[in-house]
Each structure stands twice: as structure tokens, then as C-alpha cells.
Structure 1
């Protein structure tokens, strides 16, 4: 089992966290500024709540939000340069923190040089009356629409995000080289953005090549829905984002319907037979769980569930302080869930500190019981507003008992085995 799967991750969207201009309006806003150094100030803070892996959103040169890459080999100047990156890697590894980067390999930004070159070539071909878009080694796919205009493959229809042609050998070569290049420089793992929109045959071709160079490489694929186990088997990816469990946690608590959580945990146990899912209660793409649930007592129970079931858990920055924010549609709709943090933890207000403390207690319980990573969950009591379950090591050698109750005020109890000693009582009064 890869060491990265055993870690507890703190996820950070660096452009927002470090206060970089997400939609720069001038060259001055694109000047090299070592904002990555701010992250170094927070490494002890994340370790203080029991996290030993730092999962970063995009850090490569991009047009705007990081998911529209211009250059995979250059740190975004709004975050710094190679020296700032090296300082962060060194600081992480000195503290025993693993570093995961966000690999956006489904699409790029319109200013990606090869896209611009192929776009011009396709325009020239169209104007000359030649066939467009049939070179098997083109990194992008072009076509002519019925009204005679040039079009290209895009991510979810966004014109600013041209999609790679994943059948092109040059795309496989580029992605392989990018991942190995940064892993040689200290990166431990990759989050593969929009992984399930990429053909599994592409990952099955690229990832073994990376592993031959970096045997301990670990890959987490973003997968919102679909057949997770089949995707893992076909792609050779190590794990996927467990969106089913994310939704079931906040929805069951919000609606007082633990039957939804129980149904999902049964599926989750099935996933654990194939892979270790990456579990979470929030990330950079969704409305914060505190805003979804709107009850701090229930929010505390969400954390209890996250850290007492199998998986590789992560906490999205801000959720450890019970921050509120809603994701909306349109330009800037993600900004509120990707906020700036102050220079140091000492500059952070005490708001939500109770959640940081609770997470620290839960991660202590989990870290002392590494068997929880693939533990099986079995319900012992199931009602709409009251749910209890046993979490048992795969070899049957250890067990926790967890009791969740939404009445009269939301509270939870964790015990060492059935009828064993109480480990933690959780109850937060709003």
C-alpha cells in the first residue's frame, strides 16, 4: 500500500490562499511574486491538526484560475518561481509532509503555444480548402462546422479550455514528462483533474511509464460519478475522489435521513475491496459543508464520519475553521470558496477554532489506528436521525463503535470496540 494513501491531506487552492490576482488585468499583476512562501508559514498549522500531506491546486503558469495552463514547466509567476517552489518542497519534507500537485491534463488555456500553432495551421488549411483535423499526432482536435467556421474540442464547452487529443502520442509523451519532471524535483503525488473525462486507455499508457521512472508515484483521479472500481482497474489510477460519500454525509445530516448515509457506506465498503477511496467533506469546487448543513452541531458529526470510515481523508482549507461560502455559476462563482488566508496562523481570527481542535482530536484517533484506512463499516442501528456503526479492521483484530444522534442536539460518541472504553464525545452547541 502506497504511503500517500495512508496520509491525511490538507487541500489548498494556492492562487486564492496566497492572495494572487485570479483574473489579472495588467502585466504588473503577472510579475513574479513569491507568494508560495506564505504556504511555508502554515505547514506547522496543518500538522497541528494532524495532516501530513499538502494537496495543492494548480501552480503552473496559466491565464487565470490555474486550470487554463500555458506552461506546465513554469511556476505561475503570480505564485513565484523555481526557487519559491524549491523552498516549499524543502519545508514540507523537513516536516515529513508529502506534497501533491494538481495535474490538469485534460485541457489547457487558449494561450498554450502548441494550441495556437495548431489553430493557425487549421485556419490556413480551411482557407486553402484542405481537409482539417486529420493528423493523428495533432495535440488538439479541429473540425469545420456546418456553417463553415472552425471549431475545436473543448472541456465542457468552454472556449477558453481547449481539450487535448488523448490519442496523440505527443500528448502522452508530454504528460509523462511533466509528471516525472516535477516528481524528480520533490513532488510525491498527483491529483489528476477531470480524470474521468480522459480515456482510461490514456492513463493506462501514461501512468505505468511514470511509475517505471518513479516507483512510489501515487495518482488520485477526480471522478464525480460513474463506476469508480472499473475506472480504477482500467486506468491504473490509485484512487478517485469519493463524491458519493461527500454528498451522502452532508445530505443525510442536513435532512435527518441516515438511510442515505447507510446506503452509501455499503457501496463504499465495496469500493474498498478494489481501492482506497479519497474521502472529503469539502473541496475547491463545491459549496462549503458549513453552508450546506447550516448547523455547527451537525458539522461536527460530518467530521466524525469522515475520520471514522475507510479511505484517505482530506480537509479543504477553511473547513477546519467552519467557514461559510457558496459556490455559484458564472465567472467568479468559485471565488468565495477559494479565499485568501492571512500571512500567518497568528493572523487568523478565532472564529471556528473549535472545528480545528475537533479535527485534531479525530486525526489523533485515526493516526493511532492505521487499520482504519480500509476498515469495513457495519450498521448496528439505523433510524432517520440516529445511526450507529461498527468499524472493523479487515483482519478482525480491532474495532471502533460510532454512535451518531441528531436528537435532542446533534452529538456523537466514539468507543474502542463494542462496549469498550469511550474515546471521544462530540457535541457542539451553537
Structure 2
């Protein structure tokens, strides 16, 4: 989530792992065109083609993806700045995403969340701008879990049907559809008008006179009414626009705990004040009010986890979110990205994920998480498929790109999570992070290409790219609540570089500059290669250490081998923006033995640069002469002996 700035992840680890959030234990708050592949479009019958390599996840911020409007007025309305529709994600778009190398699409922010627009004619209540961030609203302040954002529908009354049609189109092109679920918090004014018969809204049966009760969906500040935060100097709701609902108050009695865990009736501006914390049966003192999962379940499978929870009396919030996940699974959604998963107890994830997997064994389950010390628990006990690898690989690559560290720092990262490597998702951009091309990150998108090669090939887990990344989107301009360097989550806005690629819905890149076309072609070549490279799900060997003393091999270069019984690769990346390098690249003798290379000549083919090289093995030693231009990477695939 991190919907303001950087979330304070280092503070009070215990509070997050018990599911109470930061402020429950501390008052510190900080800002923190490809050929189509027809597929069965029935629920849970979509299939991804049988690539031997890695998953590639394409994250789109759905509200912005199809927007063709280029006005970009700060705090602009939907009419002024435009908005993308589900129907804008047309056949051309999905073919193009598939062509980039993706096999999964994460439709970010599609659920019905708070926003400043009048839809009362279709029965939706208006939302108070004073508990909304921006005008278009935070996608992580969900108002109705059983429907989607009316802004993104051509006919808002039929918004769910339009989204269901998008899921079917996605499956048609051999892509799988992932959406967000945000179990830790919901909008302050949550009200589902679309819930199935028999479903109760969050909080409908709470006992608000009790600050805590196991089956309350929320925590309450006893005896105190909610008070709006004090606005920072210079901040005005909706940029100072007059609005009938801006009256200096929001009625909530008693006040609820805020989404990030603040227990104050008046949250701080930097708190997630637009949301309220969901109660999972974690008492205010951090103890647990639900059945504990025995440690031996770390070694048990999905069906055993499912059986463990059968008949167990669990908190009401658990059941509500399980039902929400199964509702979307039944509609053909292929998986979920869980926002701030670490703020919810791991037992809930065992319960939730085992229910999902029993309905769809192939479901894609991804956790946003920033605490390495609990990674194992969330995989083994919580039954997550994938976790963000942000605080290690992303952070170290960013430091190397920004010349704050040299490539030696990657040695430890590469082996730190060997046991769970296949579960770690790698990325260089997402909706929370700065755009690579922004001045605050790299300044130009090409500077990160070596890091992208490493991000996509170092580990076994999936690779994620963010819409606009492949064409060098800079994230410029203060959109309103959203600030530059990150594409706004909160405002109606156009994304200039992405709009050039979109080309009025053709998605053919005709409006891109030559430099942008070259950048996108590079991404496409890399990602499509990884999709079919079985070696990237195999073993990893460090070749960087043995080459560090070689003449011409600089600290700007990083290298390693990836291999399995079908394919053998050498990967090299030069992070220097100015310096080329020519050197004798040495293959470690142990790797020569492992690969069973006898004396003689072998051919290497560079899969990124269409070049060929000869490797000579003499008495169990082997070198190949290589030149690395600035920012160049090579993926050398070993072919037959010549």
C-alpha cells in the first residue's frame, strides 16, 4: 500500500507480525502485436501456455491505463483529466501485453473504493472528500468488496459485467488475471450495495461499546468520536475547491482505529486516515484470540491446512474475507495480490489461502511484505506463493544504479534466500516506488537496464513490470494529492509515455520515439526469453568472485551462471554509464566440472545481442574474451561443442 510515502517498516516489528500495525505500539508515523491464443474463458479454466521458464507479471494501474486525455490539470475532475475504462483494455492492449512477455496481468485498483463523484443515481452513496486522498481516491480504501470502481465502466450500472468481460478477454489471450485484496483495512464508510444475499457488511454486527471483541470487525476508541486530522500547512482538500460535503467533520461515533494501527480518535495526516483497521482476533495487547497453527504445519500441504480449519471457530473478519476471495475466484479471477499482508496474522493466511487453493489449486497468491524475518512463516505457514523481494534485491539494485554501492553487494543478496528463492517476486517499479526515469531514481530508463537483467534472471521467482516502465515513463507532475516521481494513485491523470505507446487504443507504439521503441524492444526480448528459459528455474553459481581480479573486469560488472539439465547460461551486466570493459572472462573450474565440459571449443550465443562467442576449455579451465559496452548486458547460452 504505502499510500502516502515510505512506510516505517523498521519500527516495532512485533506489532506488525501480530497484526496490529505500527501505531498500535508506537505513535511514530512517517510518510512512509502478437498472434492471439484462444483460451477457454470459463471460470478457473484459463491456462497459461507451457513455458519452461519464469512467470512475468504485468502490473497495470487500471484507472490510468486506458486514459487518452492529456490535460493533466492538478486536482482535475474526471471530466477534465479523463479516466481509463475496462473497455479500453481491448484486444490490441492484451495482445501487446502478451507480446511484451507477460503471462499474468495484475489489475491494480479495480475494486470499488472511495472517490469524489456523484453516483447516487445508481444507488451509490456519496463519499466525504475529507476522508479521501485525492479526487479519484485511494484504491486501498475499498468501499464495496463485491463490486468494482464505477469510474471505469462505460455504463456504471453495469460495471461488474464490464469487468467480467475484461476477465474473459484476458483469458482469451492466454493471460491470467490478478486483483488486489486489502485485508488489513477498508474505507471508513464501507457500505456494500452489491453483497450477495445473506452477507453482512463489515461492522454490521459489531459491539462498538467494546473497544475490542473477537468478532467485532473493527477496533474502537472507547468514548471518543472521530476527529479529522489537522491538515498540513498548504494542504487543502480537493485543492481548495468548494464542495458541499467539505464541512470540517466526518461522523464516526465511537472512532475506529485507523488503518495503519493508530489508536487515536484524531489520526495524523500521515496516517492512513481514509481507512480503518480490521480486527482479526488480535487483542490490543498483541495476544491472539483464535486457534494457533501448530509449528509442524509448516511442512504440511494445502489440503491439510484446509482440514485443520474445518469446524474451527474463527473471528468473523476471517470468514468475511474468505468469502470475498471465493466470490472473485468464482468469477474467474486467477489470483490475488495482498496489500500489506504482514499486518495480518499468519494463521489467517493459512485459513484464507487453503480455502482459495481448494477452489482453484493454480491460484496465484502474492503478498506485499517487507520483513525478511517472517518470510518463511508466510510461505510455509501462510501458504503464500510469492512475496515481494523489495528490501533486499530491489533496494540493493537501486543503490547500485544510483552509484551508492558497487556490484559486490549483490553477492550476499543472491544467496540470502536460497531455500525460498522460487517464492520471491522481483521488480524495479510498482505503484509504490519511484519511476526509474524520474530524477529522484535514475534520471533515464536505460541506466536501469543492467539491473533489469539481473532482476529478471538472478532468482527463480516471478518478474514484475509496471505499466509505462518499458517506455520510460518519468512520473512527472504533481497531480494533486499525488506527487511527482511516482505515477499518482489518487488523482485523475494521464501517463504521457504510456499514452504514446497506447496510440489512441491501437497499442502499436506508433507515437513512441525511436529511443522508446528500442527500450521497449529490449524489455520484450528479455522478458520473452525468461519466459522460456528453463535454466532460470535451476541452479545459480557466482562467477563474479572469480573474475573480480581479472584485468578489465571492473566493480561495475556483475556476473553469474544459471543452469539446469536442459540449458546453461552465463549472465553479465555492466552497470557503468560511461565505461566499457574488455576482459578474459573466466568460467570457475567447479562449474566446468558441473557442466561436464571436456577440453575443446564450445559455442556461446548471446540471447540479448545476437552475437556468438567461442569458449575454449583447456585442462579443465576455460575463458572467453568479452567486451562490455556501457550499460550492456549479455546472456550467453552454451551450445554444442564445435
Q: Distance in 1 between matches of 2:361 and 2:581?
A: 41
Aligned pair in 2 of structure 1 residues 58, 23: CA closer, same or farther (>3 Å)?
A: farther
Name the counterpart of 2:256. Answer: 152
Q: Distance in 2 between matches of 1:187 and 1:11?
A: 15
Say if 2:65 and 2:84, in contact at 8 Å, map to a contact too.
no
Shift of 1:67: 0.7
Aligned residues: 412
1:44 and 2:95 aligned: yes
Aligned pair in 2 of structure 1 residues 44, 146: CA closer, same or farther (>3 Å)?
A: closer
Name the counterpart of 1:94. Answer: 172
Q: Distance in 1 between matches of 2:528 and 2:522?
A: 10
Name the counterpart of 1:70. Answer: 143
Shift of 1:65: 2.0
1:232 and 2:379 aligned: yes
Q: Which runs of 5+ in 1 are unaligned?
A: 126-131
Say if 1:309 and 1:377, in contact at 8 Å, map to a contact too.
no
Match of 1:218 among 347, 357, 364: 364
**SS of the residue 1:424 aligns to:** coil
Q: Distance in 2 between matches of 1:266 and 1:397?
A: 23
Deviates further, 204-213 or 379-388: 379-388
Shift of 1:238: 1.1
Say if 1:221 and 1:240, in contact at 8 Å, map to a contact too.
yes
1:355 and 2:553 aligned: no
Structure with the higher helix share, 1 or 2: 1
Q: Distance in 2 between matches of 1:334 and 1:408?
A: 25
Name the counterpart of 1:314. Answer: 464
Match of 1:402 among 557, 571, 587: 571
Name the counterpart of 2:423. Answer: 276
Say if 2:436 and 2:448, in contact at 8 Å, map to a contact too.
yes
Shift of 1:216: 2.0
1:12 and 2:176 aligned: no
Q: Which runs of structure 2 are paired with 1:108-127 in the superposition (5 Å)?
A: 108-113=186-191, 114=201, 122=208, 125=209
Aligned pair in 2 of structure 1 residues 134, 336: CA closer, same or farther (>3 Å)?
A: closer
**SS of the residue 2:152 aligns to:** coil
Q: Distance in 1 between matches of 2:473 and 2:424?
A: 25
Q: Distance in 2 between matches of 1:268 and 1:164?
A: 31
Say if 1:58 and 1:66, in contact at 8 Å, map to a contact too.
yes
Aligned pair in 2 of structure 1 residues 87, 363: CA closer, same or farther (>3 Å)?
A: same
Say if 1:298 and 1:410, in contact at 8 Å, map to a contact too.
no
1:209 and 2:355 aligned: yes
Name the counterpart of 2:388. Answer: 241
Aligned pair in 2 of structure 1 residues 374, 318: CA closer, same or farther (>3 Å)?
A: farther
Q: Which runs of 5+ in 2 are unaligned?
A: 1-46, 115-136, 154-158, 192-200, 227-252, 261-270, 282-313, 489-493, 549-553, 593-601, 610-627, 633-642
Q: Distance in 1 between matches of 2:476 and 2:149?
A: 27
* Deviation by residue 1:327-374 (Cα, 9 ceiling, x = unmatched): 999932379424545442247631422221001111232223134135
1:189 and 2:358 aligned: no
Say if 2:400 and 2:575, in contact at 8 Å, map to a contact too.
no
* Deviation by residue 1:109-166 (Cα, 9 ceiling, x = unmatched): 01103457578x63xx4xxxxxx22432111111337999944222223221101111
Q: Distance in 2 between matches of 1:146 and 1:75?
A: 33
Name the counterpart of 2:556. Answer: 385
Q: Distance in 2 between matches of 1:145 and 1:308?
A: 55
Higher relative contact order (CA 8 A, sep 6+): 2
Match of 2:219 among 109, 118, 141: 141
Aligned pair in 2 of structure 1 residues 172, 410: CA closer, same or farther (>3 Å)?
A: farther
Structure number with bigger Rg = 2
Q: Distance in 1 between matches of 2:395 and 2:203?
A: 39
Q: Distance in 2 between matches of 1:296 and 1:22?
A: 25
Shift of 1:299: 1.8
